Structure 1
């Protein structure tokens, strides 16, 4: 553990960032090994759940040490930083996409990235950007995080003192939102791609897991095959994996999938965080926690690099958003040659890792120059 941090949390945040980058590059062969190809959930669920975990873990300690109002102020300050980063990142992304579009003649990258609104209605697009209604492709997770973190400033005391009550209210809102059509406004189809009114449940569950992790509990010493919850979760993961893999062969899928099950299962909404996606992620998180209860496996060199990326998730995520259209441009210029696709995917991860290493070096230099006994900012633990 580093400075009170659980390296497993950092590792899976870093791994989610790698998967998000690979998933954002069209036709990337390494995108075939990301989480979305082996179950109903994907890296987005990992990102949101662990964001809730890290945020509640960090700011609940601030609240206990300095009081609610100071914790609230620091949450809102962090939210403002994320908002400013979103504005500048969007401007940078648009510049990169317009540049790439001038060099790729075979595709309309502006349309593919959802930037047509800026071309046709630039003044309105600027207003929509400030109101978080204009969210081109690749940008959706950050506005979602901004809204969820802002909401944490209100519910943090209840999260700490009445965790189950907050989960109950959050679950009720999650279940009612699709039925009532609750979502936030956006351009294009009129709603947010990641509906914060449903995705808040995953953020809350992450925060609840953080609170639970700080309380002593008696471990279940029974072998895993004799633990009913583990067995049920593992079976669900296997079934979901088989169904997901069958999507690669639509004819076979349609032939073997019972009509009743198909009508119940589809469509699997990512916008409203379909229950089968939510349950799949929770099962995956539970099985992973059971199979990897210790931290020793995070001590090897490769895992430490991934953990380092997870410690600086905001900066690494932003770099991944910038690199994805650049990788797409280079792949298109090379006629989507597999060698180029693999090269850009791997170089992108190396650059993301290099940024995390640079951030870590800067942090150590700042710590060396800090006065003895001066604490680090809590935001450094809530990244």
Structure 2
């Protein structure tokens, strides 16, 4: 039987939302401390993996308790909600970007946000929006999530019973997709920036991790320095951090990086989820899970704020998408002075946390009214 909600999942999902927001505000100093600066993967991998984990936990319990068709119906209903949110979010984003662009004289925010297609061909852009072919910057994760969610009913029953078989099939598709050119069509470069055919593997791995975590097993009581898998994962994570930091100084990187390793490592494709990125995320996730066992650490005040944001990830993500161009506009008004950049980044974070707190308050208020109504009957 699958376990209930895990606050650690909410914490890291909330942290990923913060990183996504900071990473998409140009020249933001706080963007220098996000995950992408210390390894091959970034917050996108965290978001997709945890989406798979959370979806299998939630809909797997529904399947076990209410049956396959009810679980499938709720999955498809959620996918429809995400699709409608995507359409409205894109319309709001375009309005904000056009407004911000009228206030900024030094840069073309419409071009930077990938909205030129709407200016040059609005009728086709509307059609492409409905078909998920038109995805401006910041909007890519939501269509990816929609497609992955639509595929979940096809694999969920087998994933709960035979997770290794589903992982093996998913890995086969992941390895074949880049070689055979499997991807979905889009405007601009012609394919989705996040290739669902490859990123589905990370989503499935998240789901398999949820199934694995629900199974009883004896903990490994050996010290971490005597666990070979931990040592290998920590070593790879450290090497990835060193290589990523060396990109800041190309001359040093080219001088110390052996040609053999360089040929094997590059290019590190985000579109097709390069094996280097995938292995880095998995290694980082394993090391983090070993260093932060249990759930007690999620009870401190800062961790609870991130957990709350993670519980309302859709709403907080949408707000972050809308805040990013506004923060960029504020920064551009003062020629990207670093005090304003830090202020706008922290202000956006506080607004995202405030939205999560408001949603939590309304949820408790509705629950209280429900209890009062039941008691008064």
What is the TM-score with the length of structure 1 in the denominator? 0.96
**Corresponding residue SS for 1:293:** coil
Per-residue deviation at 1:368? 1.3
Show the 5 A alignment for 1:1-383: 4-370=4-370
Aligned to 1:380: none
* CA distance in 2 between partners of 1:364 and 1:193 (Å): 39
Change (3 A) 1:218 1:127: same
Change (3 A) 1:231 1:98: same
User: Which sits farther off after the overlay, 191-200 or 5-14?
Assistant: 5-14
Q: Residues 113-141 of structure 1: CA distance to partner in whole angstroms, max 9, x if unpaired?
A: 00000000100000000000000000000
Structure 1: 5+ residue stretches without partners: 375-383
**Corresponding residue SS for 2:36:** helix
Per-residue deviation at 1:153? 1.7
* CA distance in 2 between partners of 1:4 and 1:57 (Å): 7
Per-residue deviation at 1:161? 1.3
* CA distance in 1 between partners of 2:327 and 2:162 (Å): 46
Per-residue deviation at 1:373? 12
* CA distance in 2 between partners of 1:29 and 1:249 (Å): 18
Per-residue deviation at 1:4? 3.4
Per-residue deviation at 1:370? 2.4
User: Which sits farther off after the overlay, 291-300 or 365-374?
Assistant: 365-374
Report how many aligned residue pairs link the two structures: 372
* CA distance in 1 between partners of 2:41 and 2:344 (Å): 25
* CA distance in 2 between partners of 1:309 and 1:197 (Å): 28
Aligned to 1:378: none
Dislocated runs of 4+, deviation >6 Å: none
* CA distance in 2 between partners of 1:35 and 1:373 (Å): 47
* CA distance in 1 between partners of 2:86 and 2:268 (Å): 28
What is the TM-score with the length of structure 2 in the denominator? 0.97
Change (3 A) 1:125 1:329: same
**Corresponding residue SS for 2:106:** coil
Structure 2: 5+ residue stretches without partners: none
* CA distance in 1 between partners of 2:266 and 2:125 (Å): 34
Q: Residues 289-313 of structure 1: CA distance to partner in whole angstroms, max 9, x if unpaired?
A: 0000121111111111011000000
Q: Residues 166-188 of structure 1: CA distance to partner in whole angstroms, max 9, x if unpaired?
A: 10110000000000000000000
Contact 2:233–2:283 (CA under 8 A) maintained in structure 1: yes
* CA distance in 2 between partners of 1:281 and 1:208 (Å): 15
Per-residue deviation at 1:23? 0.1
* RMSD between aligned residues: 1.2
Q: Residues 232-273 of structure 1: CA distance to partner in whole angstroms, max 9, x if unpaired?
A: 000000110000000011111111111111111111000000
Per-residue deviation at 1:365? 1.1
Q: Residues 79-130 of structure 1: CA distance to partner in whole angstroms, max 9, x if unpaired?
A: 0000000000000000000011111011111011000000001000000000
Per-residue deviation at 1:372? 8.6
Q: Residues 132-152 of structure 1: CA distance to partner in whole angstroms, max 9, x if unpaired?
A: 000000000000000001100
**Corresponding residue SS for 2:150:** helix
* CA distance in 2 between partners of 1:38 and 1:287 (Å): 14
